[in-house]
Amino acid sequence: MYEVEVKVKVSHEPVRSRLAESDATHTDTVEQTDTYYDAPHREFETTDEALRIRTERTPDAETATLLTYKGPRIDDASKTRTEIETGVTSRTRLNEILENLGFSPAATVEKTRERYAIGDYTVTLDAVTGLGAFVEVETEVEAPDPERADAIETAREGAFSILRDLGLDPDDQIRTAYLGLLLNN
């Protein structure tokens, strides 16, 4: 599975107004804590990969924990990359497993996310601690087969179109992950 994502740094208020005028549906608002790990056997910054544990809290205090691997970006026009994610019952136990295998926490990213659905896309308004306000537009695409080689490009163009509909310019996108932005801040 590929995650096709574009992200821009922008104030949320004009975007919320455009979302209210569109066919977007607010799906939820959550708080996320993402802890990223360094690997003992390779340098993720060099290989453009990421491994994280995410804890997501809803306003009614429900929590979910996910382990996510993100592969290297596959194009220069977006943040498209392989993403493999699975649920975990204990963040603490998973952290213990990773640390016993030599993985070490590198940094933590905290954010509040407002998510909206527009067709097969998710529009997310992120307030990231220490970085500010961002808007992401993303969708998932199955690994392209020879008969659908244009699937990623089509998904990316759809994300660009949604950005434009929200009054944003795809040329303003930021391809650096929040982790990279925080570490370089």
One digit per residue, the tens of pLDDT, for the chain of length 185 reads 888 999 999 999 999 999 999 989 999 999 999 999 999 999 998 999 999 999 999 988 889 999 999 999 888 888 888 899 999 999 999 999 999 999 999 999 999 999 999 999 999 999 999 999 999 999 998 866 555 558 888 899 999 999 999 999 999 999 989 998 998 87
Rg over CA atoms, the chain: 17
CATH architecture of 2-183: Beta Barrel (2.40)
Q: Using CA atoms, how far apart are residues 109 and 130, in angstroms rounded to an integer? A: 9
Q: pTM (2 decimals)?
A: 0.88
Residues identified as active-site:
36
Q: Using CA atoms, how far apart are residues 123 and 49, in angstroms rounded to an integer? A: 23
Residue 162: count of CB within 10 angstroms of its CB: 24
